Amino acid sequence: MKLHIKNGRLIDPSNDIDAQQDLFISAGKIVAIGAAPANFNADKTIDAKDMIVIPGLVDLCARLREPGYEYKATLESELRAAVQGGVTSLICPPDTDPVLDESGLIGMLKQRAKAQNLAHVYPLGALTVGLAGQQLTEMVALTDAGCIGFSQAEYLIQDTNVLLRAMQYAKTFGYTVWLRPQDAYIGVGGVAHSGAFASRMGLSGVPVMAETIALHTIFELQRSTGARVHLCRISSAAGIELIRQAKREGLDVTCDVSIHHLHLTEADIGFFDANARLSPPLRSERDRDALRMAVFDGTVDAICSDHTPVDDDEKLLPFAEASPGATGLELLLSLVMKWSNECHINPAIAIAKITCDPARVAGLAAGNLTVGSSADVCIFDQNADWKLEGKVLASQGKHSPFLGYMLPAQVQHTLVAGHLVYSRN
């Protein structure tokens, strides 16, 4: 199948391209940019006039809920949501049931995901067996089966010695350890950012120091082990400052923020809106502003959707009892473009944070439109505003603190390996 995408504004940050250029695809690969290769007869032409053509998005954190939580979401529903959101590669954390801690499960997940012929799925293996924080998993076998790194998801390691050993072992083989920095004791049971807002609402808090204490520990362990660490979903200004220093020091560390923390603050909890019950909690305006600045200046490497489908029964509950998390795959592009619009960020810089930069973090060849690479492409209309309602989402997760928002940028077409896997209309 030969495809010609014409008249679009092509933005490929990894190749410094932002220009009106045509894109030519053949046998699943990008074969030319600009002028057609000799003897190229397109089977199909997509007119991308007034649209932006970018590499397919790479999402560093998307829960697909399989295996184990099919009542919340299935691979099919969530991979459909991914391509409807322009996401062509996604990394899923190991907090499924059973936990992704053995190679057979990884093999099965990869195979089932591949059979959907939608987005590429790259699992993170569990860092410890059952995510219990005690025994190391078979990281070599898990890597052979397809894991691209190792994570504790939302399960915190209490025993620092286990974390030390895990990092030493991962470093031995050059694996990346993905950690969401949070102290295992401080802030336990907390559901909101510690501060005046949580005090007024009578909600127990997660203080910023729960993040910064964990960061200090992780960095100290990195100094000793040299392990490469990716820090997931940083939430605070103080955390960002520590990461800035760590990068300056030369530690092998990268980090991401979620689309929620890029836009929202604790005040968005409003009158106990369980859709704003997230982990880590939404923090203060100062923290939000620091996160925005840190994405812009490069301290934060990537923006992720933190996609977490939650069903009604687990959200229509008292705030503190509601399951944390919100749907995100279909919002990632729009919320990044919203940030770009609001903060006057060059779209190419914004798009880098959801394409080539996360691909670099995860060690994937994705996230670019280099000639010869897999034709994973997203075509969107930056002028099409749309209203977020549960019914427009392909994901089984219908909960989002952005429900009712008008959002910019609507995905029109998504290609994975040269196949048109989603077309609006």
Partner 1 sequence: MHNPQLNQHGELQHLLTTEGLPKSIVNHILDTAESFVSIGNREVKKVPLMRGKSVFNLFFENSTRTRTTFEIASKRLSADVINLNIAASSTSKGETLLDTIDNLAAMHADMFVVRHAQSGVPYLIAKHLHDTKQNHVHVVNAGDGRHAHPTQGLLDMYTIRHYKKDFTQLRVAIVGDILHSRVARSDIHALTTLGVPEVRAIGPKTLLPGGLEQMGVRVFNDMDEGLKDVDVIITLRLQNERMSGALLPSAQEFFKSYGLTPERLALAKPDAIVMHPGPMNRGVEIDSAVADGPQAVILSQVTFGIAVRMAVMSILASN
Give how far the C-alpha of residue 417 lies from the chain's centroid of Cα atoms, to the nearest Å.
20
Is 194 among the residues that bind partner 1 (CB under 8 A)? Answer: yes
Contacting residue, 195, 244, 251, 384, with partner 1 by CB under 8 A? 195
Quick one: which of 83, 21, 80, 85 has its CA closest to 53? 21
Is 197 among the residues that bind partner 1 (CB under 8 A)? Answer: yes
CA distance linking residue 386 with residue 402, whole number of Å? 12
Is 115 among the residues that bind partner 1 (CB under 8 A)? Answer: no
* Chain residues 332-391 in contact with partner 1, contact rule CB under 8 A: none
Give the CA count within 13 Å in the CB-facing half-sphere of 122: 22
CA distance linking residue 108 with residue 119, whole number of Å? 16
Which region among 80-88, 111-119, 190-198, 409-417 touches partner 1 (by CB under 8 A)? 190-198
State yes or no: is 306 an active-site residue.
yes
Unique residue bearing structure tokens 């053509």: 53
Is 248 among the residues that bind partner 1 (CB under 8 A)? Answer: no
Is 199 among the residues that bind partner 1 (CB under 8 A)? Answer: yes
Task: Count interface residues toward partner 1 (CB under 8 A).
Answer: 23
Is 313 among the residues that bind partner 1 (CB under 8 A)? Answer: yes
CB closer to partner 1, 194 vs 235: 194
Amino acid at 83: V
Provide the total of helices (H) and of strands (E) in the chain, helices listed first. Answer: 13, 23
Is 285 among the residues that bind partner 1 (CB under 8 A)? Answer: no
Angle of the 237-249 helix axis to the 208-225 helix axis, nearest 10 = 10
Residue 252-281 contact track with partner 1, rule CB under 8 A, x = bound: ------------------xxx-x-------
Quick one: which of 83, 45, 26 has its CA closest to 422? 83
CB closer to partner 1, 317 vs 365: 317
Please report, for residues 67, 180, 210, 240, 281, the alpha-carbon distance to residue 300 in angstroms, rounded to integers and kept in the order given. 31, 14, 19, 8, 18
CB closer to partner 1, 151 vs 194: 194
CB closer to partner 1, 80 vs 193: 193
Is 316 among the residues that bind partner 1 (CB under 8 A)? Answer: yes
CA distance linking residue 220 with residue 414, whole number of Å? 42
CA distance linking residue 149 with residue 143, whole number of Å? 8
Residue tagged active-site, from 256, 306, 357, 376? 306
Q: Which two tokens stand for residue 314?
A: 């687990």
Contact criterion met (CB below 8 Å) for 309 and 72: yes
CA distance linking residue 121 with residue 74, whole number of Å? 13
Contact criterion met (CB below 8 Å) for 139 and 128: no
Contacting residue, 32, 320, 348, 364, with partner 1 by CB under 8 A? 320
CB closer to partner 1, 144 vs 321: 321
Is 392 among the residues that bind partner 1 (CB under 8 A)? Answer: no
Is 293 among the residues that bind partner 1 (CB under 8 A)? Answer: no
CB closer to partner 1, 173 vs 271: 271
Contacting residue, 35, 317, 371, 406, with partner 1 by CB under 8 A? 317
Residue 21-60 contact track with partner 1, rule CB under 8 A, x = bound: ----------------------------------------
Q: Counting Cβ atoms within 10 Å, is residue 313 exposed (0-12), middle (13-18) or buried (19+)?
A: exposed
Which region among 78-86, 115-123, 147-155, 202-210 touches partner 1 (by CB under 8 A)? 202-210
CB closer to partner 1, 12 vs 266: 266
Contact criterion met (CB below 8 Å) for 156 and 182: yes
Is 184 among the residues that bind partner 1 (CB under 8 A)? Answer: no
Site residues (CB under 8 A) for partner 1?
A: 194-205, 270-272, 274, 313, 316-321
Residues belonging to the active site: 306
